[in-house]
Amino acid sequence: MTSAAQVLAEAEALVRPALRRTIVKLPERERRVAEYHFGWADGSAADEATSGNGGKALRSALVLGAARAVGGDARRAVPGAVAVELVHNFSLLHDDVMDADRMRRHRPAAWVRFGVGAAVLAGDALQILSLQVLTGTGDPALTDVLIDTMADLMRGQSDDLAFESRDDVTAAEYRSMAELKTGALLGGACMLGALLGGSSPERARELGRFGRHLGVAFQCADDILGIWGRADRTGKPVGADVAARKKTLPVITALADASEAGRRLAALYRRPEPPGREECASMTALIEAAGGRAAVEAEGRRQITLALACLDRAEPQKTARADLATIAEWAMHRDR
């Protein structure tokens, strides 16, 4: 059976050359920021190429896998994969600014390296480029899918920001946000791949639902990594979400717990001063003691089960089904 690492590597090998050819079309200033963000350049005036770490290639793999699932040629779906990677990375550029996250992929985020304005404009440029890529296919249905995807992504990010100033966020609200912020793009990736592979709209929508459930599971894994992940794997400081007092699903679940651990955690979250290292360690232990980690792991498994049911309803080709299922399991159990 093909491993997740192989599926992702094969997708990256097919999509990265096309993505790089696309990025070259940007104006010089935005191109420099984008190539740095992707890990392809060091950000100096000489703009020397580096091997880089452009991310997980998950979204590319979903586009190509969905095309194969409906019997299509993955190579014909490359424009969809390029468009999705552009949208994903525009959202990361903006997200790092909004969250004031200083690290991305084991080095300073683009806004730290080039400034807020340059990072925002580079993100804008990637968004525009994503639409241009799909417009070039001549199929307006593809552009419609991407526009709807970006609208959902924006709504999810807006909800996520709004949660920061609220003390009463529920687990149901958070799951809805995760489906929009993370699930929409994974679902859009699957729909684009299916349509580029010659799928009927009904089959493409079922694959889109697979991607949306997978996105919620992916967010569950992200939430776990944001608290318990290793810095050498995630590229971000240990316990970064706790230090920032982010209300991710493990925290929301733990705060709602009536146990002593839940009450102590709530008191710590209400403190106005930033938590120190020892306090962050205490908060992390309390989140786990109040059931936050276990609940999110269970929710992630539930979402994977729902995703696979949607995948099977799309009646995928056998090999493609195996690859997509492998990706789904990896998405929940990854370490970065």
CATH number, domain of 245, equals 1.10.600.10
Give the closest residue to 36 by CA, choosing from 83, 129, 28.
28
* Cα(49)–Cα(39) distance, integer angstroms: 9
pLDDT, position 303: 98
Q: DSSP states of 210-258 as a string? A: HHHHHHHHHHHHHHHHHHH--HHHHSS-TTHHHHTT---HHHHHHHT--
* Cα(96)–Cα(115) distance, integer angstroms: 12
Single-letter residue type at 327: I
Cα→Cα distances 176→47, 118, 316, Å: 41, 31, 27
pLDDT, position 65: 99
Bridge partners, residue 166, by sequence: none
Query: What values do phi and psi take at 49, rounded to 5?
Result: -70, 145
Burial class, 281, CB count within 10 angstroms (exposed 0-12 / middle 13-18 / buried 19+) = middle
* β-strands 103-104, 107-108 pairing: antiparallel
Count structural domains, the chain. Answer: 1
* Cα(110)–Cα(122) distance, integer angstroms: 9
* Cα(277)–Cα(263) distance, integer angstroms: 20
Cβ pair 209, 222 in contact under 8 A: no
pLDDT, position 234: 83
* Cα(254)–Cα(291) distance, integer angstroms: 6
The SS3 assignment for 49 reads strand
pLDDT, position 18: 98
Cβ pair 85, 125 in contact under 8 A: no
* Cα(294)–Cα(331) distance, integer angstroms: 17
* Cα(332)–Cα(220) distance, integer angstroms: 7
Q: Tell me: the pLDDT tens digits for 167-192?
A: 899 999 999 999 999 999 999 999 99
pLDDT, position 182: 98
Note down the domain range covering 133. Answer: 4-333
Looking at the chain, the whole-number percentage of residues with pLDDT higher than 90 is 88
Residue 282: how many CB atoms within 10 A of its CB? Answer: 16
Chain-centroid distance, C-alpha 60: 12
Cα→Cα distances 90→28, 55, 94, 171, 253, Å: 17, 13, 6, 27, 30
Residues in the chain, how many? 336
Token digits for 225?
């990594």
pLDDT, position 237: 80
Which residue has tokens 């919620």?
216
pLDDT lower than 70: segments of the chain? 44-55
* Cα(154)–Cα(301) distance, integer angstroms: 26
Token digits for 50?
């580096």
pLDDT, position 51: 44
